[in-house]
Chains A and B, each alone.
Chain A
Amino acid sequence: MSTSAETESDWVIRGASLTGGDPADITISGGLITAVGPAGTASQGRARVLDATGLIALPGLVDLHTHLREPGREDAETVATGTAAAALGGYTAVHAMANTDPVADTAGVVEQVWRLGQQAGRCDVWPVGAVTTGLGGTALAELGAMADSAARVRLFSDDGQCVADARLMRRALEYVKAFDGVVAQHAQEPRLTEGAQVNEGEISARLGLTGWPAVAEEAIIARDCLLAAHVGSALHVCHVSTAGSVEILRWAKAKGWRVTAEVTPHHLLLTDELATGYDPVFKVNPPLRTAADVAALREGLADGTIDCVATDHAPHPAEAKQTEWGEAAFGMTGLETALRVVQQAMVDTGLLDWAGVADRMSLRPAVIGRLRDRGPGAADTRQGGPVAVGYPANLVLYDPAPGLPVDTGTHASRSRNSPYAGMKLPGQVIATFLRGTPTVLAGRLVR
């Protein structure tokens, strides 16, 4: 952790619109929010002042789905560069997916990732544990050992691979109940998606690329909802991408089952039409879908059927993308653009207000990730807001006004595979605070 005077100061943030409401002054001391009052009323004392007039204050964002790539693929991303990207995107906590090399399927690996996050210091890093050994889909990993480790794993996922074996999925859902865990499923029926490249439909037919049918996602979601209901366990569905999936989730939630779901920014904005140029920067798993799917996902996020936005930030080195479509890696970076994309897709369209954004990008993911309690160590690792007295000062100050093209040259991620490069998006993250310490000021990383 830095000990510079700048980062140790107490702060008064003046005139920020609290989750889109009236302008307020926010006083930060000792890592906590110590006062929130009408604009112009906070006393400065010896605190540093940040003029936030015109900016929106949101609780620090929480990502349930981040690929930090370390250990194993440090050429694509490291915990240090990935958390820097997270801070620039307004995040104060990320969940690091388990598909590293070695796989995060033991207490040793998850503790390694957790410690790297502690050292990086820009953003809390909560490792996700693999459900099955080596993501192999045949034997349960030591879920309890990971839960009891210093990394306190509560979210388990084979993301990148589907836990396709129904019996194993049932056992995983049951087993994690012992420590309030949740299984996050990458819903992809493997036999229906062998060699799949793009959404199966008009575009795949025209481009001659193997189709990834919506039913391959929906069939697994339906099965897993039924399994979760049967054993009374918590299921989380990763990166929901189809209109049919939204319908199934709506039905499962209406039954009162413990099912939650996330949607990525890119599935809220982009469609499979973008594949027509065969540029693999648009190759992602699950694939970009149709405009009708995008509309259903937005509606599902707005009405709460989909609980939250998760980035599925998936960095890849240039050579993994500058190749034939069929050979190219799946995935897009997303941490540094997520809030801007959500503004464009949800706020500027009138589907969500800023309080809704705070709920879907901070509170809900914190609840699902089990980040609402204080944590065992010295630091108060509660996440998800609210921006209120007594809570940790995890904040993002966001200017919704600019509408500049995305410049990946300014990105802190080690990789450049952003589908938004050159695209005009609204908004800009101005500052991010993690427990009272600024990680981003004036739109740039601190330190």
Chain B
Amino acid sequence: MNRHLISAADLSLDDAVAILDTAEELARLAERPIPKLPTLRGRTVVNLFYEDSTRTRISFEAAAKRLSADVINFSAKGSSVAKGESLKDTALTLQAMGADAVVIRHGGSGAPYQLTNWIAGSVVNAGDGTHEHPTQALLDAFTMRRRLGRLDGLRVAIVGDILHSRVARSNVWLLHTLGASVVLVAPPTLLPVAVGAWPCSVSYDLSAVLPQCDVVMMLRVQNERMTDAYFPSVREYSRRYGLDDERMGLLPAHAIVMHPGPMNRGVEITADVADSPRSTIVEQVTNGVSVRMAVLYLLLGGTEAR
């Protein structure tokens, strides 16, 4: 595996399967009375969060702590970053403090990639702008495999704002690597113009796609898109691309419903769907810790403490 995890596209099939298998073993650990391993004792993991994301930060923090790493949370608010310190200077500071891994969430696409130029330790992308969110895709794949028993040949629909979604990008690359077939469903305004170059198919009709799906993944519609002419109104979006109880009935009996959170209940997903037995939304959160443990374990575990 690479020293960093920046893009799901960088993962080979062997890398991806190794992460999922390791996560499976680590998930069993959570069932023990003391769910903690000494693997990363003496290692420092910095959570460098330029965007508020309590759920992702807590998930990474829990993962690092269960592996006995020291965790430093560095949020942009109230720090030197808020006073205008550059990403480079922040990186050099973390480097000087001896960070073994930096988990970075940033509003700008590519910031984690740039960080690798300035940091000797591992960099884990915890979501960068509208680029990628590879650990989300890994935990999604992990959840699908647990629920459905396989990934190869699965038919997965990803529905919503593909254009601005880092979750969609990471899922497209990873699921392709793992042998699943992906169909993106969105209004044409919310698809990249060059989506034809991606290893997936595209549909504008959610109802037509659902009967052939093993998995349907609903994406959040960001508030700022609702007023920028991507679609006429939230109501129209919900009618055409939202998942309600009636549409859910079009899915095969075994199919599952996913959402990376946080949800806009009543916009892309109705409450009864979100809370139905098909929904894996809470499991995704649980699985997130196991998958992030696996990533930190595989990136840091094989090397000596500095």
Contact = CB atoms under 8 A, between A and B. Distances in A.
A207 interface: yes
A204 B129 contact: no
B194 A326 contact: no
Nearest to B113: A278
Contact of A324 (B108, B132, B166): B108
A127 interface: no
A205 interface: yes
A202 B110 contact: no
A45 interface: no
Given A204-B194, A208-B169, A324 B114 contact: yes
What's the dominant secondary structure at chain A's contact region?
A: loop
Interface string A298-319: 0000000000000000000001
17 contacts: A200-B193, A201-B193, A206-B169, A207-B109, A207-B131, A208-B130, A209-B110, A209-B131, A210-B130, A277-B113, A278-B114, A322-B88, A324-B87, A324-B110, A325-B108, A325-B114, A327-B108
Of B114, B131, B169, which is in contact with the most chain A CB atoms at under 10 Å from its CB? Answer: B114
B111 interface: yes
B106 interface: yes
Contacts of B111: 278, 324
Interface of B: 9, 86-88, 106, 108-111, 113-114, 128-132, 166, 169, 192-195, 197-198
Contact of A208 (B86, B132, B194): B132
Contact of A205 (B113, B166, B195): B195
Interface in A321-336: 322-327
A213 interface: yes
Contacts of A279: 114
Contacts of B128: 208
A408 B111 CA distance: 25
A60 interface: no
A208 B109 contact: yes
Contacts of B108: 324-327
B197 A326 contact: no
Interface in A187-227: 200-202, 204-211, 213
Contact of A322 (B86, B169, B192, B193): B86
Contacts of A326: 108-109, 129
A324 B194 contact: no
A207 B193 CA distance: 13
Contact of B194 (A205, A277, A325, A327): A205
Contacts of A327: 108
Contacts of A202: 194, 197
A160 B207 CA distance: 46
Contacts, number: 65
A125 to B, nearest CB: 33
Contacts of B113: 277-278
Given A209-B109, A278-B110, A325-B109, A204 B86 contact: no
Nearest to A201: B194
Given A208-B128, A208-B166, 17 more contacts: A200-B194, A202-B194, A204-B192, A205-B192, A207-B109, A207-B131, A209-B109, A209-B110, A211-B192, A278-B109, A323-B86, A323-B87, A324-B87, A324-B106, A324-B110, A325-B108, A326-B108
Contacts of A213: 193
A346 B108 CA distance: 37
Nearest to B192: A205
Interface in A263-286: 277-279
Contacts of A208: 109-110, 128-132, 166, 169
Contact of B193 (A205, A206, A277, A278): A205
Given A278-B113, A278-B114, A327-B108, A205 B86 contact: no
Given A322-B88, A323-B87, A324-B87, A205 B110 contact: no
Contacts of B114: 278-279, 324-325
A242 B109 CA distance: 25
A285 to B, nearest CB: 17
A319 B89 CA distance: 11
Report, nearest first, the 7 A-B pairs whose CB atoms are least far apart.
Answer: A278-B110, A208-B131, A205-B192, A324-B108, A208-B130, A208-B109, A202-B194
A338 B209 CA distance: 53
Contacts of B129: 208-209, 326
Contacts of A210: 130
A279 B118 CA distance: 13
A201 B9 CA distance: 18
B88 to A, nearest CB: 5
A5 to B, nearest CB: 49
Contacts of B88: 322-323
Given A323-B86, A326-B129, A205 B198 contact: yes
Contacts of B169: 206, 208
Contacts of B195: 205
A323 B87 CA distance: 6
Interface in A238-260: none
A279 B9 CA distance: 19
A315 B43 CA distance: 42
A275 to B, nearest CB: 9
Contacts of A323: 86-88
Contacts of B87: 323-324
B192 A207 contact: no
A147 B214 CA distance: 70
B22 to A, nearest CB: 27
